[in-house]
């Protein structure tokens, strides 16, 4: 039997990506591998990234994280979805919730039944058939024994990294503080051999995880894998973030409010609110965006507005040689659907699944890259959908988004849904039919027809079917306390 030659994993960077990787690898591999994380206090982290999506709960189970402890430590609140305000048009809102709308039906999605109901004038709003969405609207939340609610969290990114660090260190991960100055490579293989710190310290390893954020110190600056630029379909290139005091009870959803040149987020934590604008510098100056941000936040500013510049896109290779890019170093899709932290989690799990046995095999690298690219491209399409399918025509930014050429894969989905009301989740895709339908309808894409199977129901049967679902939703939500009341009992901050 061959000896395993991957013995030392070096994680460069200690933001959310670095510490998520360190905690996961430490917990699952810490007994057999030597794991070191290098981070620079001087450089710090990007400091944003506070809204998550439900699959994070799976990672937390894997890490044996106690939810109450985690929530108290990170000032977390519950999140049931995202409210998209002014996206379809000015003064028109919808919620993309994490819940299932209506009922799953093997032949035709619930939207087909709803569409006929609408035509007959017997259907309520589409969202009225989704418990998570109604709970969000009514600012309610609880964990129930008799019904599982699909949720995620809003969390404090800096505290989250600190929380994960404790788990990682408990499982033997070593932390080195210092600035990486040089990346040493083997002249023959091109593999990375060591990181050299400004202090002169050399850290050697077998497998390197690049979590250095937008700098992409290893994967790009040392290995030059290249970048696919998506600015033509996701033109926003700047963000400003500011934290404010809370002036009201935290709501259980993220707010995403569109402006003439981008959008604004509001993420309520237990103790404060995270705010920011994402915008396209071609259409608005940094100063103007900052003025708009500061004029629209409620509460007092706890931080100075922080400017972040980015280029949407992804690395041509997420894994190259003996280096795997995880987090912002691997690419950036703007945080409209809170997908970045999720992609970190997916890359960690995928790398665990393809952990080199003996030596790094090119076939593993290719498989990893192909799966990651496929997943990222589908998320990109979903994000582009929000911009492209809109009735807004009030600014050059929205005119560009409405008229821009979009990927053929997205055009196909839009055309299919428009003609037939059908949409299908492709294998290994993050967002399911339920999400696609909510956003397509929410953005104003109304199908021309519904599935013929719906006509098997008489009008009276359809009416009873719809009313039954709606009354179940109302009954369920009526049981829930307010989000704030639940948090106070369940996981107050210490
Ligand atoms: P960083 O946090 O930048 O960490 C990089 C690390 O590398 C730091 O520790 C730094 O010190 C270290 N480093 C860099 N260079 C060196 C060096 N030379 N030597 C030593 N160490 C070095 N994601 C979501 O899921 N939800 C959201 O709501 C969300 N909102 C976002 C909003 C904005 C405006 C932006 C820009 C991103 C958002 N994201 C969001 C993405 C999310 O912030 C990131 O995915 C997440 O924080 C991970 O970042 P990171 O760890 O890759 O990088």
Kindly give the number of the ligand 1 atom that is closest to the alpha carbon of 14: 9
pLDDT band, residue 494 (cuts 50/70/90):
low
Tell me the mean pLDDT in the region 155-170: 97
Residue 5's pLDDT is: 79
Tell me the mean pLDDT in the region 1-7: 67
For residue 30, give the nearest of 167, 158, 224 by alpha carbon: 167
pLDDT band, residue 357 (cuts 50/70/90):
confident
Tell me the mean pLDDT in the region 249-258: 98
Reading the block at residue 224, the tokens are 């030059």
Q: Name 338's Cβ contacts closer than 8 Å, sequence gap at least 6.
A: 51, 52, 53, 82, 152, 254
Residues of 17-31 as b/e, b for ≥16 C-beta within 10 angstroms? bbbbbbbbbbbbbbe
Kindly give the number of the ligand 1 atom that is closest to the alpha carbon of 267: 28
Residue 3's pLDDT is: 54
Domain ranges of the chain: 8-50+156-230+312-360, 101-150+384-478
Kindly give the number of the ligand 1 atom that is closest to the alpha carbon of 327: 52
Kindly give the number of the ligand 1 atom that is closest to the alpha carbon of 47: 2
Reading the block at residue 452, the tokens are 């013929």
Classify domain 8-50+156-230+312-360 at the CATH topology level. Answer: FAD/NAD(P)-binding domain (3.50.50)
Residue 139's pLDDT is: 98
Q: pLDDT averaged over the chain? A: 96
Q: What is the pLDDT of residues 111-158, one digit of tens each?
A: 999 999 999 999 999 999 999 999 999 999 999 988 889 999 999 999
Residue 16's pLDDT is: 97
Angle, CA of 296, 301 and 307, to the nearest 5°: 80
From residue 16, give the alpha-carbon distance in Å to each of 47, 163, 290, 336, 345: 9, 10, 26, 18, 10
Task: Choose the residue to mutate in 10, 14, 15 for probing ligand 1, maximizing ligand atoms within 8 Å of C-beta.
Answer: 15
Question: Does the pLDDT at position 416 exceed 60?
Answer: yes
Q: What is the pLDDT of residues 29-85, one digit of tens each?
A: 999 999 999 999 999 999 898 999 999 999 999 999 999 999 999 999 999 999 999
What residues are in contact with ligand 1 under a 6 Å CB criterion? 13-18, 38-40, 43-46, 48-52, 157, 179-180, 211-213, 215, 217, 239, 241, 276, 308, 310, 327-329, 335, 338, 340-341, 344
Taken in order 38, 41, 47, 52, the sign of the CA dihedral is positive
Question: Does the pLDDT at position 89 exceed 50?
Answer: yes
Q: Kindly state the percentage of the chain with pLDDT values over 90.
A: 94
Kindly give the number of the ligand 1 atom that is closest to the alpha carbon of 51: 28
pLDDT band, residue 373 (cuts 50/70/90):
very high
Task: Choose the residue to mutate in 13, 192, 306 for probing ligand 1, maximizing ligand atoms within 8 Å of C-beta.
Answer: 13
Residue 4's pLDDT is: 61
For residue 378, give the nearest of 442, 422, 325, 427 by alpha carbon: 427
Is there a contact between 480 and 134 (Cβ–Cβ < 8 Å)?
no
| CA 399 to ligand 1 centroid distance, Å | 31
| CA 462 to ligand 1 centroid distance, Å | 49
Question: Does the pLDDT at position 2 exceed 90?
Answer: no
Q: What is the pLDDT of residues 432-459, one digit of tens each?
A: 999 999 999 999 999 999 999 999 999 9
pLDDT band, residue 1 (cuts 50/70/90):
very low
Tell me the mean pLDDT in the region 221-232: 98
């Amino acid at each position: 039997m061959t000896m395993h030659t991957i013995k030392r994993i070096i994680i460069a960077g200690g933001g959310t990506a670095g510490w998520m990787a360190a905690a996961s690898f430490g917990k699952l591999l810490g007994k057999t591998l030597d794991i070191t994380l290098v981070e620079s206090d001087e450089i710090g982290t990007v400091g944003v990234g506070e809204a998550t999506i439900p699959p994070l709960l799976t990672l937390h189970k894997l890490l044996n994280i106690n939810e109450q402890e985690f929530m108290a430590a990170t000032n977390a609140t519950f999140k049931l979805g995202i409210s998209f305000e002014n996206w379809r048009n000015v003064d028109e809102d919808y919620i993309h919730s994490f819940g299932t709308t209506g009922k799953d039906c093997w032949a035709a999605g619930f939207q087909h039944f709803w569409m006929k109901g609408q035509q007959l004038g017997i259907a309520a709003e589409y969202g009225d058939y989704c418990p998570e969405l109604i709970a969000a609207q009514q600012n309610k939340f609880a964990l129930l024994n008799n019904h599982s609610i699909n949720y995620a969290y809003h969390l404090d990114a800096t505290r989250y990294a600190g929380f994960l660090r404790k788990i990682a260190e408990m499982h033997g991960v070593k932390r080195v503080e210092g600035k990486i100055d040089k990346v040493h490579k083997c002249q023959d293989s091109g593999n990375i051999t060591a990181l050299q710190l400004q202090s002169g310290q050399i850290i050697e390893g077998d497998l390197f995880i690049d979590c250095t954020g937008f700098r992409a110190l290893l994967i790009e600056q040392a290995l030059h894998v290249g970048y696919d630029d998506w600015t033509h379909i996701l033109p926003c290139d700047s963000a400003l973030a500011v934290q404010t005091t809370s002036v009201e009870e935290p709501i259980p959803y993220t707010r995403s409010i569109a402006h003439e040149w981008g959008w604004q987020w509001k993420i309520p934590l237990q103790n404060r609110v995270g705010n920011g604008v994402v915008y396209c510098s071609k259409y608005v100056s940094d100063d103007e965006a900052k003025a708009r941000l500061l004029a629209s936040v409620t509460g007092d500013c706890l931080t100075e507005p922080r400017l972040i510049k980015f280029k949407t896109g992804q690395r041509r290779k997420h894994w190259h040689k003996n280096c795997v890019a995880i987090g912002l170093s691997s690419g950036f899709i703007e945080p409209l659907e809170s997908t970045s932290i999720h992609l970190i989690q997916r890359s960690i799990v995928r790398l665990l699944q393809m952990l080199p046995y003996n030596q790094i095999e090119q076939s593993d690298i290719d498989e990893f890259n192909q799966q990651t690219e496929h997943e990222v491209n589908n998320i990109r399409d979903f994000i582009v959908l929000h911009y492209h399918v809109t009735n807004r025509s009030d600014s050059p930014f929205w005119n560009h988004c409405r008229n821009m050429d979009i990927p053929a894969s997205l055009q196909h989905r839009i055309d299919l849904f428009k003609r037939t009301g059908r949409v299908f989740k492709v294998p290994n895709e993050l967002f399911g039919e339920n999400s696609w339908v909510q956003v397509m309808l929410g953005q104003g894409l109304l199908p021309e027809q519904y599935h013929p199977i719906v006509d098997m129901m008489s009008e009276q049967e359809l009416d009873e079917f719809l009313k039954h679902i709606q009354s179940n939703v109302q009954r369920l939500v009526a049981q829930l306390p307010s989000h704030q009341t639940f948090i106070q009992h369940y996981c107050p901050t210490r």
